[in-house]
Amino acid sequence: MRYKVSALPAVVALACAAQPAMAADKSSGSYQVSARIPVSCNIDTRSIIAQGSASVVSGTVFEACNTNSGFQVIATHRSLGEDERVQVRYGSDFSELNQTGVSYVGQRWGARFGPVPVQIDARQVDAPIAISFSLIAV
């Protein structure tokens, strides 16, 4: 005696068994995005020239630095004679230029983007002095 076996019940059983494996309506997930941004520090200024004794020059520079650790402001200029004196107010920082030609004039904390007032008071200079500013990330 021969029996006929139908495949239909087996297919229905497999289809019903596969339903629990589908994603639930309340599934959740997460992802993380990160990026590395290079440090960029720039200052937009032109050299400021002070001439003669008791000469005072004012101007504005524009700082743009994206480092959270801050940066130093450096002034470069010609070497000063022993009797020459030049004072710089950079924002709220006040300093006197070194005789060497490279002077630290300020420290900034955190990222900055904006204008900064600058005043140069050159007393007893024997010759004109040009001062350029630069930023160094800390």
User: Is 30 within a domain?
Assistant: no
Q: Is the pLDDT of residue 111 over 90?
A: yes
Long-range contacts of 44-48 (CB under 8 A, 24+ apart): 45/118, 45/132, 45/133, 47/130, 47/131, 47/132, 48/118, 48/120, 48/130, 48/131
Please give the mean pLDDT across all residues of the chain: 82
Task: Tell me which of 72 and 18 has the higher pLDDT.
Answer: 72
User: Is 50 within a domain?
Assistant: yes
User: Is 70 within a domain?
Assistant: yes
User: Is 113 within a domain?
Assistant: yes
Locate 88 and state its tokens. 């710089």
User: Is 9 within a domain?
Assistant: no
d(CA 71, CA 134): 10
Q: What percent of the chain has pLDDT over 70?
A: 75
Q: For residue 119, what are the domain limits?
A: 41-137
> What three-state secondary structure class fits 55?
strand
Place of tokens 């900034």: 108
User: Is 29 within a domain?
Assistant: no
Residue 89's CATH number: 2.60.120.380
Q: What pLDDT is recorded for position 16?
A: 56
Phi-psi region of 24 (alpha: psi -120 to 50; beta: other; left: phi over 0): beta
pLDDT tens digit sequence for 8-34: 555 555 555 555 555 556 777 888 999
Domains held by the chain: number = 1
User: Is 16 within a domain?
Assistant: no
pLDDT tens digit sequence for 41-59: 999 986 565 555 558 888 8
d(CA 116, CA 89): 10
User: Is 8 within a domain?
Assistant: no
Instruction: List beta partners, residue 57.
Output: 120
